[in-house]
Amino acid sequence: MTAQTSTGSSAPPGIAGWPPPALDPAGPYAGAINLVSWVLFAMGAIVLVVVVIALGLALFGPRKWRARLGGEKIIWAGGLAFPIVVLSGLLLYGLAVTSKVASEPLPGEMRVRVTGEMWWFRVAYLDDQGREVIQDANEIHIPVGEPVAFELESADVIHSFWVPRLGGKLDMIPGRRNVLRLQADQPGVYGGQCAEYCGGPHALMGLVVVAHEPADFEAWRARRLLPAPTAALASRGAQVFDANGCGACHTVAGTTFNGLAGPDLSHVGARRTIGAGIMPNNQGTLAGWIADSQAIKPGNRMPSYPVLTGQDLREVTAYLDSLK
């Protein structure tokens, strides 16, 4: 089984970082978890070899060996003491790693709140006081070389947040807030995937994490904190958006479109993917998504809009694409 099939998703064409290789860590937290995996695998393999050899000796070995393996001492040592020592050691090792990977945010640490929704990821960047200052969806920007605390929540059912190259995997549970720390050592785009079956199009619930050099990240953040430009509001595409009620589910900052049910579209034109990590974002895929999202991601909560004419579609996608 490859990482790709175990997440239940097929590779969408043309998205950088996808599918994410599960055994190719790109930061210290993913590295520590990767090491835990290999240590567990190695210990399991060693124990298996020892047990198979003991079994062979017990069945076919010389009489002296068979007598020794049938004795009471071997049961106490091999059946009780050995598993207690080995399993306790591995447990303590695993707990030591997870206490660093998944503990409360430290003072001064960058915080991002990610909320699992059916079937996408709501993203909010928090300031030092824990207020949400930037809203986004299905794409997360972080600086390289520093830990980022992800506060994981759910709006409906249990999802699981997993960006294999940057850190561990942690459930997003309704009514709870779990914290997971990720770090990227190199700039790049890292794919992620919901890793807990959450109904319907679960396998099509992805995201990307974009890691920037610190100066580039600061520039990105400063741009996002500026008031939203409103020039595009005069376009016919914005009228199509308005007339079809898109603003009832989607927010565009600086406008009267303030729906909260669906992904925030204030900067949708800048996102790398649409449909929650499943397609590269361009005017063609965007138009296809609006016209017939139910064919692309069956069961998702955005209705298809077959009523839109080709002209309407071109104009509304031009408007959305202009929201950088």
Contact residues: ligand CUA, CB under 6 A: 116, 119, 159, 194, 196-198, 202, 205
The pair of structure tokens assigned to 83 is: 């598993």
The pair of structure tokens assigned to 292 is: 């017939």
The CB-of-114 to ligand CUA minimum distance in angstroms stands at: 11
Residue with smaller CB distance to ligand CUA, 113 or 212: 113
Residue 208 · residue 191 · CB < 8 Å: yes
Residue 133 three-state SS? strand
Residue with smaller CB distance to ligand CUA, 144 or 207: 207
Residue with smaller CB distance to ligand CUA, 176 or 223: 176
Residue carrying the six token digits 């998504």: 289
Angle, CA of 138, 139 and 141, to the nearest 5°: 155
The CB-of-297 to ligand CUA minimum distance in angstroms stands at: 12
The CB-of-154 to ligand CUA minimum distance in angstroms stands at: 8
Residue with smaller CB distance to ligand CUA, 119 or 190: 119
The CB-of-124 to ligand CUA minimum distance in angstroms stands at: 18
The CB-of-199 to ligand CUA minimum distance in angstroms stands at: 8
The pair of structure tokens assigned to 256 is: 């009267």
DSSP symbol at 80: I
Distance CA 130, CA 218 (A): 19
DSSP symbol at 308: S
Residue with smaller CB distance to ligand CUA, 300 or 317: 300
Q: Are strands 110-117 and 148-154 parallel, antiparallel or unpaired?
A: parallel
The CB-of-174 to ligand CUA minimum distance in angstroms stands at: 12
Residue 142 · residue 212 · CB < 8 Å: yes
The CB-of-158 to ligand CUA minimum distance in angstroms stands at: 8
Q: Nearest CA to 234 among 308, 322, 313?
A: 322
Cβ count within 10 A of residue 18:
22
Residue with smaller CB distance to ligand CUA, 76 or 197: 197
Distance CA 191, CA 20 (A): 5
Residue with smaller CB distance to ligand CUA, 153 or 196: 196
Residue carrying the six token digits 């794919």: 191
